[in-house]
Amino acid sequence: DRLLALQFVAAVTVLVVLLWLVGIALRWLLARLPRPRAPLLRLALANLHRPGAQTDRLVVALGLGFSLFVALAVIDTSLSAELAGAAPAKAQRFFTIDLQPEDAGRFRAAVAAAAPDARIEAVPSLRGSIVALKGQRVAEMKTLPAGAWVLRGDRTLTWSAGMPPRNTVVAGRWWPADYRGPPLVSLEDRAAEALGLRIGDSIVVSVLGVDVPARIAALRHIDWSGLGLNFAIVFSPGYIEEAPHSLLASVYAPPGRDAAVARRVADALPSVTMIRVGDVIGQIGAVLGQVAVAIRAAAAVTIAAGIVVLIGAVAAAERTRRYDAVILKLLGGTARQVLAAQAIEYALLSLVLATVALLVGGGGGWFVVVHVFALPWASNWSVVALTLLAATAMTLGIGVIGSLPALRAKPATTLREL
């Protein structure tokens, strides 16, 4: 996908420029702040903005990796929460098709024999297509509205006296349970919005070659996350019931009874097709796990490059830091104080990087979860905090360890060399 690749490259380019500007602004700001009275803190701040400081480069290299890791943590935990907390808990173990109404009793008996605690949700279903909207034939439309998926081909539809589960009326009113008047219909709210339909508008649905005119009585918001039986088009009972139809059924049973349920139903009703939804969810989870591993590997390469830059910056400043360490020793400073100054320097740098990563990576992850995947925001902030803590510890550790050779320098030798 060239467009996707270009968008990614553009986003990374903008992020690199942003981090570079943050690094320059950080050096400019530190150089103009009042000098603190604490000597070690004053020395740490000076090391971040002094001539030759690598602060801006470190912010770019490490900030990019930290931001990607935070974005990954946000996306990964939100996807995991949706998959583990929503779908498996609500989803059926089996989805059944080709079930005839006269076989419903035998089907329930077979499932109950294999899993006494199983719950079955069965609804009538038939195929139909919308052929007219507000008096205009769909075939005569030059172009279909954007998002008009409900007009493309036949749709599975049903009828119901009461409100279906996982549905909420957002406009109009549901018909009475004993309604037997002219056909009414309820549409999924986003499908109706894409078609420009409102309460009271008319549509015509072709069912088995027969045009069925109906008036829109209610618009519904559907919770699709449960993977249950949901329909974009629901008719009122009455006229539509006369059409030949079959049943769709969902079986909610303990996972350990899958084989027994499938065997019992196959023996009782060989023509009924049982689809194992649990296996599909497991496959989706495995694919998402593989994707997460691949993204972590890519992010690890980025952070490894940042570590190389950090090590290079420490090595490039080795001469200056050795001189500083020697001068501090001559003035009575201890090795512990020199290391403390270095630790404060890299701790401040890590704090800046963590803040930038939280804003950039968290914002990018939120955009992907909410606007790309259209999932609820369910990030695990403890995982994000651990990610930032690990990044901070890594930066601090490399910076302090890189300063150890300067502490072993002998003052006389170092001063003669400089």
- Strands (E) across 12-149 are located at 94-99, 119-133, 136-137
**Which ranges in 269-334 belong to alpha helices (H)?**
277-316, 318-330
Instruction: Give the pLDDT confidence score for residue 183 in this predicted structure.
Output: 94
pLDDT tens column, 39-69: 888 888 887 887 777 788 888 878 887 888 8
Tell me which of 191 and 143 has the higher pLDDT: 191
Instruction: Give the pLDDT confidence score for residue 83 in this predicted structure.
Output: 64
Residue 242: pLDDT over 90: no
Instruction: Give the pLDDT confidence score for residue 247 in this predicted structure.
Output: 92
Residue 113 CA neighbour count, 13 Å, CB half:
13
* In the block, residue with structure tokens 């501090």: 328
Distance, in Å, from the CA atom of 201 to the CA atom of 204, rounded to the nearest integer, reads 10
Residue 239 tokens read as 């006229």
Paired sense of beta strands 210-222 and 184-188, if any: parallel
Instruction: Give the pLDDT confidence score for residue 299 in this predicted structure.
Output: 67
Distance, in Å, from the CA atom of 410 to the CA atom of 43, rounded to the nearest integer, reads 21
Instruction: Give the pLDDT confidence score for residue 185 in this predicted structure.
Output: 95
CA triple 242-248-249, angle to 5 deg: 135
Residue 120: name the closest of 245, 222, 264, 6 by CA: 264
Residue 399: name the closest of 346, 338, 323, 350 by CA: 346
Confidence of residue 106 (pLDDT cuts 50, 70, 90): very high
Instruction: Give the pLDDT confidence score for residue 64 in this predicted structure.
Output: 81
- Burial pattern 371-395, b for ≥16 Cβ within 10 A else e, equals eeeebeeebeeebbeebbeebbebb
Residue 87: pLDDT over 60: no
Residue 226: pLDDT over 70: no
Burial class (CB in 10 A: 0-12, 13-18, 19+), 106: middle
Instruction: Name the residue ranges covered by the structural domains of the chain.
Output: 14-87+291-417, 90-282
Instruction: Give the pLDDT confidence score for residue 89 in this predicted structure.
Output: 53
Residue 272: name the closest of 261, 258, 256 by CA: 261
Average pLDDT over residues 247-271: 89
Distance, in Å, from the CA atom of 250 to the CA atom of 226, rounded to the nearest integer, reads 12
* In the block, residue with structure tokens 């109009």: 172
Most confident of 71-85, 208-222, 268-282, 349-363: 208-222
Residue 92: pLDDT over 70: yes
Instruction: Give the pLDDT confidence score for residue 188 in this predicted structure.
Output: 93
How many of the other CB atoms lie within 10 Å of CB of 231? 22
Instruction: Give the pLDDT confidence score for residue 131 in this predicted structure.
Output: 92
Most confident of 183-197, 244-258, 298-312: 183-197
346 and 392 Cβ atoms separated by less than 8 Å? no
Tell me which of 321 and 19 has the higher pLDDT: 19
pLDDT tens column, 331-365: 777 777 777 887 888 888 888 888 888 898 888 88
Residue 215: name the closest of 230, 236, 196, 240 by CA: 236
pLDDT tens column, 378-399: 888 888 888 888 878 887 887 7
Instruction: Give the pLDDT confidence score for residue 187 in this predicted structure.
Output: 95
Distance, in Å, from the CA atom of 198 to the CA atom of 185, rounded to the nearest integer, reads 12
Residue 228: name the closest of 115, 101, 90 by CA: 90
- Burial pattern 321-348, b for ≥16 Cβ within 10 A else e, equals bbbbbbebbeeebeeeebbbbbbbbbeb
Residue 194: pLDDT over 80: yes
- Whole-number average pLDDT of the chain: 84
Residue 265: name the closest of 127, 93, 125 by CA: 93
Residue 237 tokens read as 């009972």
Distance, in Å, from the CA atom of 48 to the CA atom of 348, rounded to the nearest integer, reads 9
